Amino acid sequence: MKTAVIVFPGSNCDRDMYEAIQCGLGVEVEYVWHAETSLAGFDAIMIPGGFSYGDYLRTGAIARFSNIMPAIVQAANEGKPVLGVCNGFQILLEAGLLPGALIRNKNLKFMCRTVDLEVVNPHTMFSSLYEKGEVIHLPIAHGEGNYYCDEATLAKLHAENRIVFNYQNNPNGSVADIAGIINEKGNVLGMMPHPERAVDALLGNVSGLRLFQSILKHWRDSVATVTA
């Protein structure tokens, strides 16, 4: 599996994501600068956290118009796994690949801590190695992580089982305790907590490792199906 880690001016979790893929999974991974226009040859796309374009206007609002974005949309439309974490989640929302918006935390402060998440839907290409109802622990680091959507969108997310992770003790005010959602096709995941910062026992937390292992498992299963 060849994985792209997209880098925007202001990205600061790109190295974390790169190391999570390379060391955690042992698969090929490359940085892709935002000015590129193609993602040909890549099997999975990772959009890391940070402060793309300094978070001017709105978080992710300028990155949404980067040269690389049409290629990300194309990859999503082709069914390739696309993961957006923190600022990456914000970019996916701005690009319309996921519904809703992210607004300021309810306490209007930047938060940096480890939080408890409930695995709501383990039947996705991102969560298949977790158990339903399992509680995992991932770091958060955001000032605008308060997920919002209207009632109709929320009802659709529930009806289509598109909420993958919920906060157990909601830190930021997100509607329905939402921490991560997928698109209708199930191949685009956006989440505020950082799984890439929880993949090594040396750091005291491996709760995020199975998310990346789930992506790899899905890819291997897909390849095996095609070649069978």
Report CA torsion sign: 109, 115, 119, 120: negative
**pLDDT tens track for 2-20:** 999 999 999 999 999 999 9
What is the pLDDT, as a whole number, of residue 228? 61
How would residue 224 be classed by pLDDT, with cut points 50, 70 and 90?
confident
Is the pLDDT at 87 greater than 80? The verdict is: yes
Residue 202 makes CB contacts below 8 A (sequence gap 6+) with none
Angle at which helix 14-25 crosses helix 209-227, to 10 degrees, equals 60
**Cα→Cα distances 139→114, 142, 171, 203, Å:** 4, 10, 11, 12
CA gap 92, 84 in Å, rounded: 7
Into how many domains does the chain fold? 1
Hey, which residues are catalytic here?
A: 86, 194, 196
What's the pLDDT at 58? 86
Number of Cβ atoms within 10 Å of the Cβ of 116? 16
pLDDT of residue 179 exceeding 90: yes
pLDDT, one tens digit per residue, over 141-154 is: 999 999 999 999 99
Q: How far apart are the two ends of the chain, measured CA to CA in Å?
A: 18
The CATH code of the domain that includes 163 is 3.40.50.880
Average pLDDT over residues 135-142: 98
Q: Which phi and psi angles does 181 have, rounded to 5°?
A: -135, 160
Rounded average pLDDT over 60-88? 97
pLDDT-based confidence at 219, cuts 50/70/90? very high
Predicted confidence at residue 203, as pLDDT, reads 83
Residue 66 has pLDDT above 90, yes or no: yes
102 burial type by CB count under 10 A (0-12 exposed, 13-18 middle, 19+ buried): buried
Query: Taking residues 105-132, what's their average pLDDT?
Result: 97
- Ranking 96-100, 200-204, 218-222 by mean pLDDT, the lowest is 200-204
Q: Are 39 and 71 in contact (CB under 8 A)?
A: yes
Distance CA 217, CA 221 (A): 6
Q: What is the mean pLDDT of residues 98-127?
A: 97
Residue 226 has pLDDT above 80, yes or no: no
Domain extent at residue 26: 3-227
